[in-house]
Amino acid sequence: MNPTQKIDSASTEITSFTINTPLNSTNSMVDSTSGSSSTAASPTTLSRYENQKRRDWNTFGQYLRNHRPPLSLSRCSGAHVLEFLRYLDQFGKTKVHNPLCPFFGHPNPPAPCPCPLRQAWGSLDALIGRLRAAYEENGGKPETNPFGARAVRLYLREVRDLQSKARGISYEKKKRKTPPPDQQHALPPPNSS
C-alpha cells in the first residue's frame, strides 16, 4: 500500500516480523552443536540440498531411536518408512480437503474449512529422494534401501493422486513452475521429550 518502505533499517527491525508459526514452534532445528558425537562438517561449505539431506537423515535417525519397540536401521523396511511419513503428517501445513468438503477440488478456497493439514506430496517426494540417497551414502545397500521400496513408491503415488484431486492441482503440469511454499519448511525434530 505505502510505496515508501523503510528498507534501509531492515536489520534493526527484524523484531517487527512476526513469524507466523502456528501451534508448535519447533523451529530450532537439529543442527544445534550441543554435545553431539558426530563430526559436524562445517555447514557453510555444504549446499542447501546437502544440508537438508543431513538434517532429514538426522531426523529419521532420531525417529528410529524414539521408536517403540526400538528399531535399527538395518531392520528398517518400507513399512517403517510409511509409518514415518504418516507420523510427519501431523506437522503438515497443506490443507487436503476431504470429498465431502464444499472446497474439494478447489485450488484456492474462499473460506476456511475444518479439513486436515498434511505434508504436501511434493515435500514427501523430495524428502524420500534425499533419504534414499543418504541411506546409501551411509553404507546402506541399494537392494535393501527401504526408501526405494515399492510400497513407498505406491504410497507416494497415492498421496499425489489424492492431493491433486482434493486440491484441484495437477502436479504433472506445474512441475517446472515455482515450487509450493510448504516445500521449504524443514522437518521438525521428533519429540525429544
Contacts of 169 (CB under 8 A, 6+ apart): 107, 163
Give the Cβ contact number of residue 76 at 10 Å: 23
Question: Rule CB under 5 A: is residue 155 a binding residue for Zn ion?
Answer: no
Stretch that binds Zn ion, among 19-27, 76-84, 110-118, 154-162 (CB under 5 A): 110-118
- How far apart CA 152 and CA 115 sit, in angstroms, is 24
Question: Rule CB under 5 A: is residue 101 a binding residue for Zn ion?
Answer: yes
102/181 with CB nearer Zn ion: 102
Task: Give the contact letters, 78-97, x = binds to Zn ion (CB under 5 A), - = no.
Answer: -------------------x
Question: Rule CB under 5 A: is residue 132 a binding residue for Zn ion?
Answer: no
Give the Cβ contact number of residue 36 at 10 Å: 11
Residue of 110, 94, 112, 89 whose CA lies nearest to 166: 94
Task: Give the contact letters, 112-131, x = binds to Zn ion (CB under 5 A), - = no.
Answer: -x-x----------------
80/118 with CB nearer Zn ion: 118
Peptide bond into 69 cis (omega under 30): yes
- The residues of the shown chain that bind Zn ion, judged by CB under 5 A, are 97, 101, 103, 113, 115
